[in-house]
Amino acid sequence: MAREQGFRLRFAHGSLLTALTRKIIALRLLLIGDIVGKPGRKILTRAVRGLKIEEKLDLVVANGENAAAGSGITPTIYHELLAAGIDCVTLGDHAYRRREVFSILETEKKIVRPANYPQDAPGRTFTIVRGRNQVSVAVFALLGRVFMSPVDCPLRAADRVLASLPSDVRVILLDYHAEATSDKQLMGRYLDGRVSAVMGTHTHVQTADEQVLPGGTAYISDVGMTGPFYSILGRRIDRVLETTKTFRPTHFEVATKDPRICGAIVDVDPESGKATSIRRISIDQSQADRLADVSGT
């Protein structure tokens, strides 16, 4: 509503009110959940420009930890995602799976590794990117510790990141890459009122608990997966089944059928940094094809 009001004011009174309208137009952010392999990349790169136009998105952040054949990310894929319209890439527990990634983790500004890795681990603990309307947005990622490999305390790591952000940065997005919903809820409550959004990734299953918490932080336990849905979390069903039944190791190849894009869109007041709404999205191939037509890609 505030968005539309802003646009109307601008049209009614011209450029003199540009500064005023900028203040009241909500910033619209999208977090895309774990991109799994080629099927995930293909549907996302096909649809993201159309999605940006149709949803009037200011900034699109995507978790790319599974983008390279289901595990890790390469410099080529990072650049492919940026060229397609992704504004920032977050990583998770598979951040370092591809050795090639080390060449971009320090030099590229639009990719972050989990902030609760050890201090000397390669990569940025946060980055500041600008959306279409030039508002600064801080993006960072953290790993959970329940049913996951040991890492530094994510709560204290969140405090460290927030303490190191420039004071004029009010819009802050956390990709909380964790397994347990309890872990994720705790982070949401811990950061409520201190960040604009705590959005979960890693489980590859979208949850229906999106809400704006009392302090103004948008929250969802998991935004879901961007990849083949006829699968087990993006991998071939027959391979996972075989290993489960026989204990014989097989290669969990990335599946191919029914690719979808999953994520969540958050509207944020750029002045206060508080979220005003959060909405889940799930886009199948036919919707992605329609979105490709919107952008002419």
Contact set with Fe ion (CB under 5 A): 34, 66, 92-93, 202
Length of the chain, in residues = 297
Min dist CB 8 to Fe ion, Å, is: 41
What does the buried/exposed string (b/e) look like for 184-196 if buried means 16 or more CB atoms within 10 Å of the residue's CB? bbbbbeebbebbb
Contact 158, 164 (CB under 8 A): no
> What are 282-288's contacts with CB under 8 Å, separation 24+?
282/206, 282/224, 283/43, 283/47, 283/51, 284/258, 284/259, 284/260, 285/43, 285/258, 285/259, 285/260, 287/47, 288/43, 288/46, 288/47, 288/259, 288/261
- Nearest distance in Å: CB 182, Fe ion: 17
Q: Are 264 and 281 in contact (CB under 8 A)?
A: yes
Residue from 13, 79, 94, 251 carrying the catalytic annotation: 94
User: Residue type for 95, please?
Assistant: A
- Residue number with CB closer to Fe ion (35 or 59): 35
**Which residue number, 93 or 175, has a Cβ lying nearer to Fe ion?**
93
Contact assessment for residue 62 and residue 90, using Cβ atoms and an 8 Å cutoff: yes
CB closer to Fe ion out of 33 and 50: 33
Paired tokens of 126: 């946060």
Cβ 255 to Fe ion, closest distance in Å? Answer: 14
For Fe ion, the closer CB: 6 or 72: 72
Q: How far is the CB of 102 from Fe ion (least distance, A)?
A: 19
Nearest approach, Cβ of residue 126 and Fe ion (Å): 19
Q: Does 94 qualify as catalytic in the annotation?
A: yes
Measured from the CB atom, is 72 or 273 closer to Fe ion? 72
- Residues with a catalytic annotation lie at 94
